[in-house]
Amino acid sequence: MLEKDILEVLVSEEQIEEIAQRLGNQLSEDYRDKFPLVIGLLKGCIPFMGKLMTRMDIHMEVGFMDVSSYHGGIESSGDIKINKDLGIPVQDRHIILTEDIVDTGRTLKVVMDLLTYRGAKSVEIATLLDKPEGRIVTLEPKYVGTTIPKEFVVGYGLDYEEKYRNLPYVGILKPEVYNK
Of the two residues 119 and 175, which places its CB atom closer to ligand IMP in the complex? 175
- For residue 84, list its beta bridge partners: 66
Cis bond before residue 4 (omega within 30° of 0): no
Q: Per CB under 6 A, does 130 bind ligand IMP?
A: no
Rounded CA separation 65/97 (Å): 10
The reply to whether 33 belongs to the active site is no
Cα distance between residue 170 and residue 156, in whole Å: 6
In whole angstroms, give the CA distance from residue 118 to residue 101.
24
Distance CA 107, CA 77 (A): 10
122 lies in the site for ligand IMP, by CB under 6 A: no
x/- site string to ligand IMP, residues 1 to 30, per CB under 6 A? ------------------------------
Cβ-based nearer residue to ligand IMP, 90 or 129: 129
Binding residues with ligand IMP: total (CB under 6 A):
18
Q: Least distance in Å: CB of 76 to ligand IMP?
A: 4
Interface residue with ligand IMP, options 31, 106, 125, 145 (CB under 6 A) = 106
Q: How far is the CB of 100 from ligand IMP (least distance, A)?
A: 5
Cβ neighbours of residue 15 closer than 8 Å, sequence gap 6 or more = 146
What is the smallest separation between the CB atom of 161 and ligand IMP, expressed in angstroms?
10
Within the chain, strands assigned E span 6-11, 37-42, 61-68, 81-84, 94-102, 122-130, 143-147, 153-154, 170-173
Which residue is catalytic, options 30, 79, 103, 159?
A: 103
* Residue 122 CA, distance from chain mean position: 18
Stretch that binds ligand IMP, among 14-22, 47-55, 56-64, 69-77 (CB under 6 A): 69-77
Q: Is residue 44 a contact point for ligand IMP (CB under 6 A)?
A: yes
Closer by beta carbon to ligand IMP, 34 or else 43: 43
Interface with ligand IMP, residue 158, by CB under 6 A: yes
Could you give the residue numbers annotated as active site?
103
